[in-house]
Amino acid sequence: MRRHWGFAAALLAAVVAGCGGSAVEGSPVPDGERPEPITVAALGDPRTLDPCSLAGLAAFAEHGGARPLARVSLDHCRMAVTVGSENVVVDFGMLSPPRQRAERGLATLPGEVRLVATSAQGRLPCSLDVVLADDVRVEVSADAQRSDSTLDSETVCAVARSAADGIHATLASGQAGHWEPPTHSLARLSACGLLPTDEVAAIVGTSSRVTLYPAEHQCTWGTPGGERPNAQLDFTVGPELGSRDGDEESLAGRDTVVHLARTDSVSVCTLSTEQGPFAEAIDGEREIAVVRVLLPGGGAEPCEAGRALAEAAWEKLPAAS
319: in domain: no
Rounded CA-CA distance 117/24 in Å is 12
Q: Are 64 and 238 contacting, i.e. CB atoms less than 8 angstroms apart?
A: no
The 8-class DSSP code of residue 23 comes to: P
CA dist 184 and 286 (Å) reads 13
Question: How far apart are alpha carbons 225 and 37 in whole angstroms?
Answer: 33
User: Rounded mean pLDDT of the chain?
Assistant: 90
User: What was the pLDDT predicted at 224?
Assistant: 86
Average pLDDT over residues 93-111: 92
CA 63, CA 55: separation in Å to the nearest integer? Answer: 14
What is the rounded CA–CA span in Å between residue 278 and residue 72? 11
Question: Domain end: 115, 141, 172, which one?
Answer: 172
- Could you tell me if 66 and 199 lie in one domain? no
Q: Tell me the mean pLDDT in the region 153-160.
A: 98
The answer to whether residue 130 sits within a structural domain is yes
The whole domain housing 276 covers: 186-314
Integer Cα distance of 118 and 98 in angstroms: 14
Report the interhelical angle of 197-204 vs 303-314 (nearest 10°): 160
Percentage with pLDDT > 70 across the chain: 90
Q: What is the pLDDT of residues 160-194, one digit of tens each?
A: 999 999 999 999 999 999 999 999 999 999 999 99
Say if 42 falls within a structural domain: yes
Q: Are residues 145 and 76 in the same domain?
A: yes
Q: What is the pLDDT of residue 53?
A: 97
Cβ contacts of residue 229 below 8 Å, gap of 6+?
Answer: 204, 205, 206, 222, 293, 294, 295, 296
Domain end, chosen from 119, 144, 172, is at: 172
Least confident of 63-77, 93-107, 298-312: 93-107
Flag whether 180 is in a domain.
no
Q: Residue 9 pLDDT > 80, yes or no? A: no
13-17, 22-26, 204-208, 280-284: which range is least confident on average? Answer: 13-17
Distance, CA of 64 to CA of 109 (rounded, Å): 25
- Over residues 197-228, the pLDDT tens digits come to 999 999 999 999 999 999 999 999 999 888 99
pTM of the model: 0.86
Q: Do 295 and 196 lie in a common domain?
A: yes
In this structure, what CATH number is given to the domain that contains residue 300? 2.60.120
DSSP state letters, 204-269: H---S-EEE-TTSSEEEEE-SSSSS-EEEEEEEEESPP-GGGSEEEEETTEEEEEEEEE-SSEEEE
The verdict on residue 181 lying in a domain is no
Distance in angstroms (rounded) separating the CA atoms of residues 245 and 206: 26
Distance CA 74, CA 72 (A): 7
Structural domain count of the chain: 2
Give the C-alpha separation, 143 to 285, whole Å.
22
Please check whether residue 151 is in contact with residue 83, taking contact to mean a CB–CB distance below 8 angstroms.
yes
Distance CA 28, CA 200 (A): 48
Q: Are residues 54 and 142 in the same domain?
A: yes
Task: Quickly state the pLDDT bin for 13 (edges 50, 70, 90).
Answer: very low
- In this structure, are 199 and 167 located in the same domain? no
What average pLDDT does range 31-40 have in this prediction?
82
Per the DSSP assignment, residues forming a β-bridge with 231 are 221, 293
Model confidence over 40-68: pLDDT tens digits? 999 999 999 999 999 999 999 999 999 99
Q: Residues 27, 142: one domain? A: yes
Instruction: Look at residue 31 in the predicted model and tell me its pLDDT.
Output: 53
Q: What is the pLDDT of residues 237-275, one digit of tens each?
A: 999 999 899 999 999 999 999 999 999 999 999 999 999
